[in-house]
Amino acid sequence: MLEITTNHFLVLSFLLFVIGLIGILTRRNMITVLMSIELVLNSVNINLIAFSYQLSDLTGQVFAIFTIAVAAGEAAVGLGILIAFFRLRDTAHLDAAVELKG
């Protein structure tokens, strides 16, 4: 039977991080960019939990829980800004947000 090690979690975290980073850099829709940011944050949480498990220390797991709470707040604020922007411009495209520079 295959035992799941820390390396498996690190590979998973790396793949999620790369997918999220590619999504942030290539997508032009604000909702997709927000979801990609959440993928990057989740990959960081997987790293924290994997290293915490390997070191038999709960600090990383507690920190990951706080990070999830902050990410939930960030997502709520981001969606609120997105809804306000969509009502103003009738689009969720990032190129329309360039016009908001002041």
**CATH of span 6-100:** 1.10.287.3510
Q: Where are the beta strands (DSSP E) in 1-102?
A: none
Can you give the pLDDT at residue 49?
A: 95
Look up the pTM and report it: 0.87
pLDDT in tens, 11-69: 999 999 999 999 999 999 999 999 999 999 999 999 999 999 999 999 999 999 999 99
**pLDDT value, residue 97:** 81
pLDDT score for 12: 97
Question: How do residues 65-78 score in pLDDT, each as one tens digit?
Answer: 999 999 999 999 99
* Closest alpha carbon to 85 in 73, 97, 95, 74: 97
Strand partners, 93: 29
